Structure 1
Amino acid sequence: MMDTIKIGLIQASHNVEGSEPVEVHKAAAIEKHIKLVREAKEKGANIICMQEIFYGPYFCSEQNPKWYSAAEQIPEGPTTKRFIELAKELHVVIVLPIYERVGVATYYNTAAVIDADGTYLGKYRKQHIPHVGAGEEGYGFWEKFYFKPGNLGYPVFKTAYGTIGVYICYDRHFPEGARVLGLKGAEIVFNPSATVAGTSEYLWKLEQPAHAVANGYYVGAINRVGFEAPWNMGEFYGQSYLVDPRGRFVATGSRDRDEVIIGEVDRRLIQEVRDAWQFYRDRRPETYEEMTSLLP
């Protein structure tokens, strides 16, 4: 396996007005992102990750049953199938964050992982689901209206280019799952997000470098850009980045434009840091039992 891996992080705006049919949103976003995936490949990316629910707006700004029709089965749905073919054609690993439907009406915020030969490796379902207002107009992060909490644990995926994990948006505020991913052998953890400027923006470049340092892995953090009508709940401020196991920023994107951010992972650094900072050796899991029993 290669010592050096190139990572492509895709941040993009979504400019289709929210009142348009769901199919219009999906078609426009999918075509845009296929072009961006191809650009990432041209720039040498081996593993590519897109933003949270990449194929439309951040519709959780409102509570509207219209958006349930955006959900698809994984891997049987048309979007996963299309990107399976693209991954195979370009020989890249793709982390594909989409809205998942299971059965008749069960929904998850999910990321599918596709290997470089087009093999579907599995999926991660977002575990921590926010539900909070963000403005006087009633817009917010109304995710419990759309998603059940994940029920697949914290899987890692052995790809052609390295072992990866996924942690979606709001998950980043919780260190427990980030630690599990490291204990399971993740070398790179991707956090596809949709987050706006405001009280938590300063955490964007604080929490995830801390996860990288605490667990001795790289973190790829992806955030969309721009304002999305008609909600205009805030600015999606981009600044996607790759951070290394020492907490150093390897590559950082702009605040306000569509962009493919390319960063390089040195797999030798992961082992070097884990050997130097023996956090896994020195942890005391037998003393942590009460953490799961304490109520807020």
Structure 2
Amino acid sequence: MTSPKTATLRGGLIQMALKADTDNDPEVIRQAMIEAHIPLIEQAGEAGVQVLCFQEVFTQPYFCPSQDEKWYASAEPIPNGPTTKLMQTYAAKYKMVIVVPIYERDDVTGIYYNTAAVIDADGSYLGKYRKTHIPQVAGFWEKFFFKPGKSNWPMFQTQYCKLGVYICYDRHFPEGWRALALNGAEYIVNPSATVAGLSEYLWKLEQPASAAANGCWIGAINRVGREQPWDIGEFYGQSYFVNPRGQIEKEASRDQDELIIHDMDMGMVKDVRNKWQFFRDRRPDTYDVLTRSE
């Protein structure tokens, strides 16, 4: 059930505040965010991190409090855009899997997605996950910017682990966690941009519950600071690793740029799943109501 590649998986999560004013061109902001991330990427690589993940749309502000077409210019193609290509070089240099959450432009259709590219430890592009659930509420006008993805819950067989990706608002929907686990994921990352308020309570409730329900590790990433001119609240950091029993084992600060590193005992995945047998005891034949559209 667990990958034979490693019994212990060294994960890294990077949380960060915005590094350029939002009145700048999106390319200027991208360059500033990349420049700020590189020392932490190198630190992760030198520390032997095997799977590294950044926050949601990590090269840009969380621009969804606006409905400004300016931000369309921040989208990039995947895998042939500059950010994905650059991260492929760092993945290969450090033999490190990197999950790269960016704003994606599909050049075939001209449609935009909230996406995470997955790069293997040899620098090869494994594929992408597109955010499935898109909110449209005050301060989070995401449907203006993102089309809902339909990625079919991919499990990425990396050199070190069976990896899944869920993005921010997705975490409120238990069905996707389950689908990722059923497709084989043993470690799932959730890059996010979430502000203080009701969500801060949910931040340490939903993902530990999902880890326990699915017998998997989860790495949760949130940005930090306040972003002007919107100032919808404080991005409260507190990125963390939670084990398959739902226990948070390592947590970042609330308000600092930070790389956190943690060694995950991947043997816990098999142990927990064998003990609880939630997958065996599922009753999908009784769940028709879950797929009704009305």
TM-score (norm 1): 0.96
- Answer yes or no: is 1:91 the counterpart of 2:92: no
Contact 1:124 1:166 in 2 (8 A): yes
- Answer yes or no: is 1:162 the counterpart of 2:166: no
Q: Which residue of 1 aligns with 2:221?
A: 222
Deviation, 1:71, is 0.5
Q: Which residue of 2 aligns with 1:79?
A: 83
- Answer yes or no: is 1:13 the counterpart of 2:17: yes
- 1:80-112: per-residue Cα shift (whole Å, max 9, x none)? 111111100111000000000012520000000
Contact 2:242 2:248 in 1 (8 A): yes
> SS in structure 2 opposite 1:60?
coil
Deviation, 1:294, is 5.4
Deviation, 1:15, is 3.2
d(CA) in 2 for partners of 1:97, 1:291: 29
1:134-149 correspondence runs (5 A): 140-149=139-148
d(CA) in 2 for partners of 1:201, 1:2: 33
Contact 1:189 1:220 in 2 (8 A): yes
> SS in structure 1 opposite 2:64?
helix
- Answer yes or no: is 1:47 the counterpart of 2:46: no
- Answer yes or no: is 1:57 the counterpart of 2:61: yes
Contact 2:135 2:143 in 1 (8 A): yes
Which is worse superposed, 29-38 or 60-69?
Answer: 29-38
d(CA) in 2 for partners of 1:119, 1:38: 18
- Answer yes or no: is 1:243 the counterpart of 2:242: yes
> SS in structure 2 opposite 1:117?
coil
- Answer yes or no: is 1:68 the counterpart of 2:72: yes
Match of 2:31 among 5, 8, 27: 27
Contact 2:19 2:36 in 1 (8 A): no
> How many residues were matched structurally?
289
> SS in structure 2 opposite 1:84?
helix
Q: Which residue of 2 aligns with 1:127?
A: 132
- 1:230-264: per-residue Cα shift (whole Å, max 9, x none)? 11111000000000000111110000000001111
One-letter amino acid of the structure 1 residue matched with residue 114 of structure 2 = N
> SS in structure 2 opposite 1:201?
helix
Contact 2:238 2:251 in 1 (8 A): yes
The gaps in structure 1 that reach 5 residues or longer are 134-139
d(CA) in 2 for partners of 1:40, 1:242: 16
TM-score (norm 2): 0.97
Aligned Cα root-mean-square deviation (Å) = 0.9
- 1:56-94: per-residue Cα shift (whole Å, max 9, x none)? 111112110000010011001111111111100111000
One-letter amino acid of the structure 1 residue matched with residue 127 of structure 2 = G
> SS in structure 1 opposite 2:176?
helix
Deviation, 1:33, is 1.2
d(CA) in 1 for partners of 2:46, 2:201: 33
Contact 2:19 2:32 in 1 (8 A): no
One-letter amino acid of the structure 2 residue matched with residue 41 of structure 1 = G
1:198-209 correspondence runs (5 A): 198-209=197-208
Deviation, 1:43, is 2.6
d(CA) in 1 for partners of 2:32, 2:284: 48
Q: Which residue of 2 aligns with 1:137?
A: none
The gaps in structure 2 that reach 5 residues or longer are none
Deviation, 1:44, is 2.5
Deviation, 1:183, is 0.5
d(CA) in 2 for partners of 1:130, 1:277: 33
Deviation, 1:174, is 0.1
One-letter amino acid of the structure 2 residue matched with residue 193 of structure 1 = S
d(CA) in 2 for partners of 1:124, 1:186: 13
Contact 1:114 1:122 in 2 (8 A): yes
d(CA) in 2 for partners of 1:164, 1:111: 12
One-letter amino acid of the structure 2 residue matched with residue 51 of structure 1 = Q
Contact 1:188 1:220 in 2 (8 A): yes
One-letter amino acid of the structure 2 residue matched with residue 232 of structure 1 = D
